Chains A and B, each alone.
Chain A
């Protein structure tokens, strides 16, 4: 699958799950993130240590002093087209908790890190867990949800109410 058509398929699946999908390039990324954060100026924003290490220019987005920010921006390691999932493995414990407790989770992922299926993602998962020794890896497919009352779908159970995935074209996170 060509990268652009893979992204299109991913977006279709992810959007049906309630995820917002944005495509941008490295130079426009800070601007796109700032615009996103400015939709709710009263909310605190934090960028994960791992993402900040790779892209120091995003540090200026951080604001507020809340223990648990409303907006948490983190790094996606890869994304799975088939299921519309993004895979996160923040090494910082605080960042991982913040991503669970925030209202809006924003995940930035290299567009090149799209894989077709869960099956094809296995080698990457093995690399994350066995080689990098990532202790907590999550596949996230949409905002937190529940259907426990009458099997009626409701968004925003215990985790984030909103999920945005930003694909960055031409960014090689490994080389950074």
Chain B
């Protein structure tokens, strides 16, 4: 079964308000339930431990597989290797024909979705019934699962009631979910008892004993693998681990990551045929996995244990769901493995929805570098499928500093008739601007305003950075759209006693090109940035553009993976490069109370997603704003969830950007404050634009602006 074209699925999902509500409820429930389940668990430690367990599986897969096969066969099972879907389906069809079996019951198996097993079996006249409730609902609807562990999460209770009505004696109103589950229980009980072959997946295969481990809550897998005399286990070759100890490690993180439980209701270990005169057959499928193993970057994706956490946390998934954000496999992992299992053409549309917030990797129980892999898929798709033309043109202009500067200066004049306050409102940009206002280009960029004269704070605060030279890296948006923000940041640094210099040749760090899937262009811009910064002997390079810090510290080493000399130069720059918040808390070490002005002002802090997910910000912003500046900090629900800016996604996929922003603005309203503070100019542009379009009076400021404001007021008090 081919899925409909991406653009059709995308538009339909965007028009489905109900879907959006279902997904939001689901994601919010999961976030809080997961946090509760993992309370007291050192997740990063557990994550790196399990990563190593599964990494060994990839390194030694031939060895483990051979051990598994020998053990399974000694138990009386058969093992068949299938290179692709046809081989796997043929193996099962032959078995059914040889045994004269026509009724097949199935428990959940993503691999069976991957190879489209049901249609293959139905094509030769076999009857297949899915028995996991979610899978059955999806089967009844003639759809595909939209989530790996919650297949029908895109439906609400009324939609499921309509599907189950045919099996009920009474009328299913929809409100009573328990009643629906009872109807499914009764209907499927008959199917279980009539089943001649049971097909299951396997969450884990244990080489030590040739066992298959199944993890479920409903008990359907136990029935599927117990009642029919013939049991087929369909699994990917990457599911093998060495020992029971390793399997226990997988179990420790699988349920918390998928359903946010400590343990599911059932975990069953099947070792050889268990029914009297029963049969057990393993069909182990490759289907692109060997090609993944050959790739240095994508081999890591074989660690996946199919928990679905990367869907549950993903803001873009929350807008459109798994039928759009992914192909057969949904979520971040779906963007990564689709090219290998189904072809790059099916990954092109879905990958364009990733906002690179990096949340997926933080919750991935096996620490798969999903954001990097998605960028690689993006670059691959751009090569094969052409990419987005407008984005390519814009990035091409961006990559040429002189032309870009010229265009920006022309733009600042041309936009004047459409400019109101700080926003530009051209009438021809409908879908891009009806829900968010776009900022006007500044009449004078920061680079024309430099140097900014500023005296030190009186007393010890004014000598905190005594003798330290700071090169200010302004960041593009700050330079050309928010120069006052740049002035504020340089004022803060100078007020604390630093000598601030502005390396003139600086242009973009290259992040937009890297994020867009244009690594060559990104490399050129990175090299130019490195050259410019190398020319400055400053002790530190500080930026208010936190995303630039992410680029220099985390993207540059990958961009220059094949150019060791440049990688070294990049590392040397990275050693001096810092975002403002990190600089103020670790180098300047602003003490609590230093900039406190007792005015009772309250604020909430939005974490730029990569500040939290990549740079590891935790209490630093709260310390600076609450303890140092004395603002009354109010909690912001889902403070670490992306605002929807997502770099170029904001322009190439405005509907995704809008959907994520709406969720964020709802949280901001809940916080009930007049001031929202954050660290990244991209977020600031997006949030200001969204709030202005919604008619809100809530202000959005950079941490540096808040500090500068306090400093100016302190200076004014000392002078008067």
Contact = CB atoms under 8 A, between A and B. Distances in A.
A118 B251 contact: yes
A36 interface: no
A93 B277 CA distance: 11
A164 interface: no
Contact of B269 (A93, A125, A152): A125
B507 to A, nearest CB: 47
Interface in B141-194: 150-153, 155-157, 160, 177-178, 180-182, 184-185, 188-189, 192
Interface in A78-117: 82-85, 93, 96-97, 100-101
Nearest to B215: A139
A126 B252 CA distance: 17
A8 interface: no
A119 B133 contact: no
Contacts of B29: 151
A142 interface: yes
B132 interface: yes
Please indicate which of the listed interface residues A82, A96, A101, A158 has the most CB atoms of chain B within 10 Å of its own CB.
A158
B356 interface: no
A137 B213 CA distance: 10
A128 to B, nearest CB: 8
Contacts of B211: 129
B715 interface: no
Contact of B25 (A17, A85, A133, A151): A151
A83 B184 CA distance: 28
A140 B177 CA distance: 24
Contact of A146 (B189, B218, B269): B218
Contact of A157 (B25, B155, B219, B276): B219
A96 B275 CA distance: 10
B155 to A, nearest CB: 8
Given A135-B270, A150-B156, A158-B188, A144 B218 contact: yes
Contacts of B208: 130
B137 interface: yes
A143 interface: yes
B264 interface: yes
B266 A138 contact: yes
Given A100-B223, A137-B268, A148-B132, A159 B248 contact: no
A39 B238 CA distance: 48
A138 B272 CA distance: 14
A126 B206 CA distance: 11
Interface in B646-680: none
B223 A151 contact: no
B392 interface: no
A145 B25 contact: no
A149 B266 contact: no
Interface in B234-289: 244-245, 248, 251-252, 259, 262-276
Contact of A143 (B132, B185, B251, B265): B265
B188 A154 contact: no
Contacts of B263: 83-85, 118, 139, 141
A157 B220 contact: yes
B520 interface: no
B245 A148 contact: no
A4 B202 CA distance: 36
A73 B579 CA distance: 63
A126 to B, nearest CB: 6
A82 B262 contact: yes
B271 A129 contact: yes
B618 to A, nearest CB: 28
B133 A157 contact: yes
A137 to B, nearest CB: 4
B506 interface: no
Nearest to A91: B274
A13 interface: yes
Given A136-B270, A145-B218, A151 B181 contact: no
Please indicate which of the listed interface residues B181, B251, B252, B276 has the most CB atoms of chain A within 10 Å of its own CB.
B181
Contacts of A158: 131, 185, 188-189, 192, 218-220, 223
A141 B226 contact: no
Given A129-B211, A158-B188, A160-B219, A150 B26 contact: yes
Contacts of B151: 148
Nearest to A136: B274
B137 A159 contact: no
Contacts of B137: 148-149
B37 to A, nearest CB: 11
B30 interface: yes
B223 A159 contact: yes
A64 interface: no
A122 B244 contact: yes
Nearest to B248: A118
Contacts of A121: 248
A151 B180 CA distance: 14
A122 B245 contact: yes
A170 interface: no
B567 interface: no
Nearest to A152: B177
A11 B259 CA distance: 22
A130 B26 CA distance: 41
B133 A148 contact: yes
B265 A129 contact: no
A55 interface: no
A147 interface: yes
A119 to B, nearest CB: 6
B388 interface: no
Given A135-B274, A136-B226, A147-B150, A157 B268 contact: no
22 contacts: A97-B226, A100-B219, A118-B252, A122-B244, A129-B271, A133-B272, A135-B270, A135-B274, A136-B271, A138-B268, A140-B265, A141-B265, A148-B137, A150-B157, A150-B177, A151-B150, A156-B185, A157-B218, A157-B220, A158-B131, A158-B185, A158-B218
Given A85-B263, A158-B188, 14 more contacts: A93-B275, A118-B248, A129-B269, A135-B75, A139-B268, A140-B265, A143-B265, A145-B218, A146-B133, A146-B181, A150-B25, A150-B177, A155-B178, A157-B220
Interface of B: 22, 25-26, 29-30, 75, 131-134, 137, 150-153, 155-157, 160, 177-178, 180-182, 184-185, 188-189, 192, 208-209, 211, 217-220, 222-223, 226-227, 244-245, 248, 251-252, 259, 262-276
Interface of A: 13, 17, 82-85, 93, 96-97, 100-101, 118-119, 121-122, 125-126, 129-130, 133-152, 154-160
